[in-house]
Amino acid sequence: SFFAWLAWAAGTNRPGQAVTYTTNWPYDPLVGNTPVAEAVVWSIVSVVLLILALGMVLFFYNRYMKEEDYTASLAKLDEPEPSSSQKATVIYFFVAMLLFILQIATGSLTGHFTVEGTKFFGLDIATILPYALVRTWHIQLAIFWIATCFLATGLFVGPYVGKEPKHQGKLVLALFAAVVVVVVGTLAGSWLSIQGYFGGEGFLFGHQGYEYIELGRVWQLLLIVGMIIWLVLVLRAIAPALKSEKDKGGLTHLLLYSAISIPLFYMAGLMYGKGSHLSDAEYWRWWVVHLWVEGFFEIFATVTLAFVLSRIGAVSQRFAHITVYLSIFLYLGSGVIGTFHHLYWTGTPIPIMALGGVFSALEVVPLVLLGFEAAMNMKTLEKAGPGYEYRWPLYFFISVAFWNLVGAGVFGFLINPPIVLYYIQGINTTPIHAHTALFGVYGLLAIALMLFSVRHIFKKDSWSDSLLKWSFWGLNGGLVLMTVISLIPSGFYQFYHAVDKGLWYARSPEIATSDFIRTASWLRIGPDLIFTAGAFLLVTFLIKGIWCSFIEK
């Protein structure tokens, strides 16, 4: 019935209109599904408005924000004296990196299935680890390890700007135990559900069936409870700083507001249930996947990044403040309505296409302002020499700005215009954006925030710039090579065939398992190994820091 209903919706015209319920998607000229005129018109309008908005923001930046006379004030680091709760965040970061390694493993296995089907170098493992499972784990692990780093950073920053509340360390450890329960429960529930142990009733404890919100509803509720507890712990720590900051719109208050938005808007994922109509469920799912991740998580990241960069002297307090407000205005001004670009073909009215196409194009505008200013100050930071304490954390911040432009901006815009998305929805062009934006922006930002935090926790003589240097180039170099050598060729190969004959052909075995796609997948081995080496070097760095700071006498 699921497939029958979708086929009916894609091929049946709306009452009194000459378009189907899915706005003539997917493209299939054999059955009369061709692009509507609005898809072309609003795609052109979105490009024109993007150029206009970029020009206006660059003018605003150079007129009111650019600080020609600002010289980065290089913060010096004394021997760290972390509080008990700050020490406790180290276990968050370490487990997050282990989840990162596991995510890489499941990603490699997912990619390998495209060339060997159910086998892994000849060994049939699909009965134990089917494709649907490892892909689910790959996505969920990405969310878990990145979110864990963000949560840990919030717990670290609390005492950093405020003070250590009573019993904060014990409460931070208790929250960590709760996070572990949610992660293990989600991964185990997904396996049990996909293996059929719930008999199709896995919505509560198993697998909801919706990408990025695969975790069972019970685990979803527990995750929300955990985020609320995290918010309370952060508020306890920053309360003194909030009282001393008279400006209710200051950076510390903005940190609080952005932290509140994280559990609040994740709750949108509770607005649908097991029996909800597919169109309704898709609508609320994208509130989480787009609005929560690309909107409010982006704002939290921007505020935290501005806070950190201003504290270490890479940008001025004035610039950080202005940039945060401009980013909030642009992120929410474009991102909230821009969510509609995920809903072009889900049964929504055609005006949604106009709103989604135009406003999602404007999401590109705010992505690099803060990193751009930090990059301009790199020459000043270089004068401090190779021994500068924040050298590699700052490099990771700069890489976030780069991938914000390329991954979220360029490759995000690649799949945003209605006429483009009409042809490439559901093919290998999406992973180009997914990998370069989710890891390139949020993953590297999580690592950068982690490094800033542990810089104030680990003993100074346990710090290894050489490990971070090779990790930095391994992660970024591996991602670049993976994108250029494998993801882009396979994505555009399918793109061509989708335009030429239809989506059905681009996704058919003749194309999806063709020699070209297989070759592109095999070519990922080199980049994947480079990327994995970078990740293991990062774990090695953490182990060294933990050993020298807490274990070695």
- Can you list the domains of the chain with their CATH numbers? 35-551 (1.20.210.10)
* pTM of the model as a whole: 0.94
Quick check: 357 and 417 in contact, CB under 8 A?
yes
Can you read off the two tokens belonging to residue 522?
A: 């095999």
For residue 52, give every residue at least 6 positions away whose Cβ sits within 8 Å of its Cβ, in sequence order, or none: none
Share of the chain above pLDDT 70, in %: 94
Q: Is the pLDDT of residue 368 over 60?
A: no
Q: Distance from CA of residue 262 to its chain's centroid?
A: 14
Predicted local confidence at residue 424, as pLDDT: 93
Predicted local confidence at residue 334, as pLDDT: 79
Question: Can you list the pairs that 209-215 forms with residues at least 24 positions away whose Cβ atoms lie under 8 Å?
Answer: 210/281, 210/285, 211/139, 211/285, 211/289, 212/139, 212/143, 212/285, 212/288, 212/289, 213/269, 213/285, 213/288, 213/289, 214/136, 214/139, 214/140, 214/186, 214/190, 215/140, 215/182, 215/186, 215/189, 215/190
Q: How large is the average pLDDT for residues 531-552?
A: 96
How does residue 376 score in pLDDT terms, banded at 50, 70 and 90? low
Cα angle: 486, vertex 422, 413; to 5 degrees? 60
**Using CA atoms, how far apart are residues 440 and 480, in angstroms rounded to an integer?**
10
Q: Is the pLDDT of residue 421 over 60?
A: yes
**Using CA atoms, how far apart are residues 520 and 502, in angstroms rounded to an integer?**
22
Share of the chain above pLDDT 90, in %: 63
Q: Is the pLDDT of residue 443 over 80?
A: yes
SS3 120: strand
Cα radius of gyration rounded to whole Å, the chain:
24
> Token match 């329960």: residue?
181
120 beta partners: 123
For residue 9, give every residue at least 6 positions away whose Cβ sits within 8 Å of its Cβ, in sequence order, or none: 20, 21, 22, 347
Q: Is the pLDDT of residue 388 over 60?
A: yes
Residues in the chain: 553
